[in-house]
Amino acid sequence: MQTITRRLGSLSYLVRPLALMFIGVVLLSLGVAYLFIHIYRTAELPTLFSFLTLQFLPRPLRGVLLLLAGLGALAAGVWNLSGIMVIPLRDKQTGGDELVLGYQRSRRAPRIVVLSGGAGMLVLANLSEYAERLTCIVPVQDPVEYYYRASGLLSYPNVYFVVPMPKPLAVMVKLDDGQVVDVKHVDLDTHLAERHVVELHLDPPRVGETLPPVTRLALDAVRDADAIVLGPGSLFESVLPNLLIEEFRAAVQASKARKIYVCNLMTEPGLTTGFTVGDHIRQLRRYGVTPDFVLVNAQRIESEIHRMYAAAHQEPVYLSPDEYEETAIVAGDRATERSVMVEGSTVVETDLSSSVIQYSTSLNNPGESRAVRVLRHDGQKLTAAIMALIRG
């Protein structure tokens, strides 16, 4: 009873307008009734009309039935209206009141789908604490066994790994110099470091073969998702490959889920050399998806880390002022957060990374290792930013 009273109590600010609307509906009903009576008495009407107006029943009974039907419809409408959050806002300057009707709050946790590689899925594992189900759809060129083995090391709830197709398919890239290379081999060839990808495609099947069907688990996960997170991870190796599958791409396009792209912190040698944030978004659009939101790291990069990445032919992925379409205002409690529109997506710049110590060894001297500071997406920061966009 308290739940019903509390829910209906949300309509207290709408009593007056609802009363006026009720009076208006009654007056309209009377006007329509008078017109029907006039037509019934002056015109010859088919027999069906007498059944529709319940002429075979006594007038008092007709009146009671119509009153009950009207009260039932009115009660259903009031109940549905009470499910919408009503917030009174007082304008201190004008002294006026304004009613803001917000979206009905869902009581269940969101269903989230992640399109990324192994490292990106590990970074986003904390999302499972806030999700009803976190479905990680692995890149089409990777076997799912790797991800299941990796997941065995974790204790995150509600995490599921799904393949888009029953067997892996090779993903090929065409570079700006015309070379065609398996996407897995690009970062292994230092001679390709200054190149970038101009085209991505699946390795065509052999003569007489067709592509295997998309798994039902992947399609169902996309269909039921409240949010689809693309990244973090390699744009051409982890994020885009599954969008090359026509049926899967169509499912993502048809999904009503909020689509969030986590942009790379740094460019990738041989893949996204020279790319800006806008270039990343244009590639996503080229392969069928325009994100609703794009998360971009706004943290200042230390000069030492910057020099180390520059030596490896990597630069920070920045947002070029020439790409701004318009300034957007997005609610946020962090002073460093700002957003603009680029290529139809709302780009949110905020602190998403942390520098960590990583030990590296040389193939020539496996026994020797050195500590270097590298930039990585921070799982907690990224989770907070994504959940704010999902709930917003």
pLDDT, tens digit, for every residue of 307-339?
889 998 999 998 877 777 655 444 455 545 667
pLDDT at 81 (0 to 100): 67
- Number of domains present in the structure of the chain: 2
Residue 287 and residue 243 in contact, taking contact as beta carbons nearer than 8 Å: yes
Indicate the range of 43-47, 242-246, 379-383 predicted with least confidence. Answer: 43-47
Query: What's the rounded Cα separation, in Å, for the pair 247 and 265?
Result: 30
2-11, 30-39, 275-284, 347-356, range with the lowest pLDDT: 2-11
Question: Cα(160)–Cα(162) distance, rounded to whole angstroms?
Answer: 6
In the predicted model, is pLDDT for residue 236 greater than 50?
yes
Q: According to DSSP H, which parts of 210-263 are helical? A: 216-224, 246-254
* CATH code assigned at 305: 3.40.50.10680
Instruction: Give a yes or no: residue 149 inside a domain.
Output: yes
pLDDT of 244 > 80? The answer is yes
146 and 32 belong to one structural domain: no
Q: Is residue 145 part of a domain?
A: yes
- pLDDT at position 318 is 87
> What pLDDT is recorded for position 34?
77
Residue 173's CB is within 10 A of a number of other CB atoms, namely 25
Residues 176 and 80 in one domain: no
Cα(126)–Cα(319) distance, rounded to whole angstroms? 27
42 and 138 share a domain?
Answer: no
pLDDT for 269-281, tens place per residue?
999 999 999 999 9
pLDDT of residue 373: 80
Q: Which amino acid is at 41?
A: R
Whether residues 226 and 291 fall in one domain: yes
Percent residues over pLDDT 70 in the chain: 79
- The structure tokens listed for 152 are 């065995």
This prediction's pTM: 0.72
User: 331 and 200 in one domain?
Assistant: yes
At 32, is the pLDDT very low, low, confident or very high (cuts 50, 70, 90)? confident
Q: Are residues 197 and 338 in the same domain?
A: yes
Indicate whether 319 and 355 sit together in one domain. Answer: yes
| Rounded CA separation 337/351 (Å) | 8
Residues forming beta bridges with residue 175, ordered by sequence position: 197
Closest to 159 measured CA to CA, from 184, 192, 187, 122: 122
Residue 234 domain-assigned? yes
Angle at 95 between CA 92 and CA 97, to 5 degrees: 100
The per-residue pLDDT for 367 is 61
Alpha helices in 89-206 (DSSP H): 118-123, 144-151
State percent of the chain over pLDDT 90: 45
Measuring CA to CA, how many Å separate 72 from each of 57, 64, 69, 76?
Answer: 21, 12, 5, 6
Whether 256 maps to a domain, the answer reads: yes
Query: What is the overall mean pLDDT for the chain?
Result: 82
CA of residue 248 relative to chain centroid, distance: 16
**Residues of 31-51 as b/e, b for ≥16 C-beta within 10 angstroms?**
eeeeeeeeeeeeeeeeeeeee
Give the list of residues 6+ apart from residue 306 with CB closer than 8 angstroms, or none: 316
Q: Are 80 and 126 within one domain?
A: no
- Domain assignment present for 107: no
Res. 264: pLDDT tops 70: yes
Residue 392 three-state SS: coil
Structural domain boundaries enclosing 82: 2-101
Higher pLDDT, 11 or 135: 135
pLDDT tens column, 370-386: 677 889 999 999 999 99
Query: Residue 367's Cα: distance from chain center in Å?
Result: 45
Claim to verify: residue 179 and residue 307 sit in the same structural domain: yes
Q: 273 and 304, same structural domain?
A: yes
Question: 21: pLDDT confidence band, cut at 50, 70 and 90?
Answer: confident
Residue 307, number of CB atoms within 10 A of its CB: 9
User: 93 and 129 share a domain?
Assistant: no
pLDDT of residue 152: 65
Residue identified by tokens 């500071």 is: 373
The reply to whether 386 and 364 lie within a common domain is yes
Question: Per-residue pLDDT for 342 more than 50?
Answer: yes
